[in-house]
Amino acid sequence: MNKIKVLIVDDSAFIRKLLKDILSSDREIEIIDFARNGKEAIEKLMKNKIDVITLDIEMPLMDGIDTLKKIMLKKPTSVVMLSSLTKNGADLTIKALELGAVDFITKPSNIFKINDSDMKGLVIDKVKMASGIKPDNKSYSHKTETIDTVKNDFNKNLSKKENKDNIIAIATSTGGPRALQNVISNLSGQINSPIVIVQHMPAGFTKSLANRLNNMSSLYVKEAEDGELLRNNTVYIAPGNRHMKFKEERNNIKIILDDGEKVSGHKPSADAMFYSLCEINIKKIITVVMTGMGSDGSKGLQKLKELKNNVISIAEDESTCVVFGMPKSIINLGLADKVIPLDYIGREINKLMGRF
């Protein structure tokens, strides 16, 4: 059996030892080497065959972001970031995902909890998942200064309009931040619909994701808040560890953030979002299921399409998925009306909304 060859990069000897013990406990994983900083990591990567790198965000000499850039330039390799639960850590993690990291692991506030069985299983699963992903060093460029100016002026007017005509609901997981960057930045600033998003991500990171996307879009992108009304030309991202649901209130639709149990193994859950859409009256629903492991979204979408005849569903094509799990499930169940590569999803939504 060919083992998954891992390089552990962290400036803390304690963390390096913990990760070694966790990953070595799985027979399919082999620790090839360690590095204390980015400079060492690049040197050891160039000398060895490495399948996956675990990379700390904050390190001396060369931090995780600069190291990641060099990895993707010199020898693209699947990278799983190690991030702290701080605003700076979250911001840097979102940037790392844009630059090509396939996923991230959050360091617990009490570092000794990294040895908990659930945490150990998560670390092993993420490394195994990363080993099956072909690294991609493609990056996207955006004229954020021009976009911000248009967006700020535009939202003084149309974004104040509540909506009961249309809704665009997007679900994604592994590889999602980069996919969302592509789609959201290509949507018309006059889409005249709210966009609601479930991205599988822990608490503390979705606000950074929303802020990052906000700087790349002509739409207003924010982390969803409990009780707020859906407005046109606004993108709402479900907060980590909260389900995003909806409730009709007079002539408006209100966001309800639910702190209940996981649905389909996730919180936030795409299934929970789609189930909730079954309960509201709206003229047109466009659903988009993009890259991600597992099948979250398929059960909810199946029920939504059974109950309503005004749903148009899009699945991301396998050719552009980081992980072809969630879209595959949608396609296999016959729920996808359109199967589209990532670069064309934004313009297809514009077309469906009459915004060419």
- What is the extent of the structural domain holding 253? 144-352
Q: Report whether pLDDT(160) > 80.
A: no
Residue 142 pLDDT level (bands cut at 50, 70, 90): very low
Q: How many CB atoms lie within 10 A of CB 100?
A: 21
pTM of the entire structure? 0.90
Q: Is 20 within a domain?
A: yes
Amino acid (1-letter code) at residue 327? P
Q: Is 259 in the same domain as 209? A: yes
pLDDT recorded at residue 126: 95
Cis peptide before 268 (omega within 30 of 0): yes
Q: Is 261 within a domain?
A: yes
**Cα–Cα dist 240/104, whole Å:** 14
pLDDT recorded at residue 148: 45
Q: Is 159 in the same domain as 82? A: no
Q: Report whether pLDDT(140) > 90.
A: no
Q: Which residues have a Cβ under 8 Å from the Cβ of 34 and sit 6 or more positions away?
A: 7, 8, 9, 10, 16, 20
CATH number, position 58: 3.40.50.2300
Q: Is 137 within a domain?
A: no
What is the overall mean pLDDT for the chain?
90
Q: Is 136 within a domain?
A: no
pLDDT digits (tens, 9 = 90+) for 287-341: 999 999 999 999 999 999 999 999 999 999 999 999 999 999 999 999 999 999 9
Active-site positions read 173, 200, 296
Nearest to 25 by CA among 141, 119, 146, 151: 119
Residues 23, 105 contacting (CB under 8 angstroms): no
Residues 260, 243 contacting (CB under 8 angstroms): yes
CATH number, position 153: 3.40.50.180
Q: Is 205 within a domain?
A: yes
Q: Report whether pLDDT(145) > 80.
A: no
Residues 182, 346 contacting (CB under 8 angstroms): yes
Domain's final residue, options 75, 97, 131:
131
Q: Report whether pLDDT(152) > 80.
A: no
Q: Report whether pLDDT(63) > 60.
A: yes
Domain's final residue, options 79, 101, 131:
131
pLDDT recorded at residue 136: 64
**Cα–Cα dist 223/235, whole Å:** 8
pLDDT digits (tens, 9 = 90+) for 337-354: 999 999 999 999 999 998
Q: Please count the structural domains in the chain.
A: 2
Residues 286, 304 contacting (CB under 8 angstroms): no
Residues 215, 148 contacting (CB under 8 angstroms): yes
Q: Is 246 in the same domain as 315? A: yes
Q: Is 164 in the same domain as 72? A: no
**Cα–Cα dist 100/173, whole Å:** 15
Of all helices (H) and strands (E), which one includes residue 312? Answer: strand 311-316
Domain's final residue, options 98, 131, 164:
131
**Cα–Cα dist 335/349, whole Å:** 17
Nearest to 162 by CA among 252, 36, 88: 252
pLDDT recorded at residue 158: 45
Amino acid (1-letter code) at residue 70? K
DSSP letter for 102, please: -
Q: Is 185 in the same domain as 110? A: no
Residue 143 pLDDT level (bands cut at 50, 70, 90): very low
Q: Is 118 in the same domain as 189? A: no
pLDDT recorded at residue 149: 42
pLDDT recorded at residue 85: 73
Residue 253 pLDDT level (bands cut at 50, 70, 90): very high
Q: How many CB atoms lie within 10 A of CB 109?
A: 9
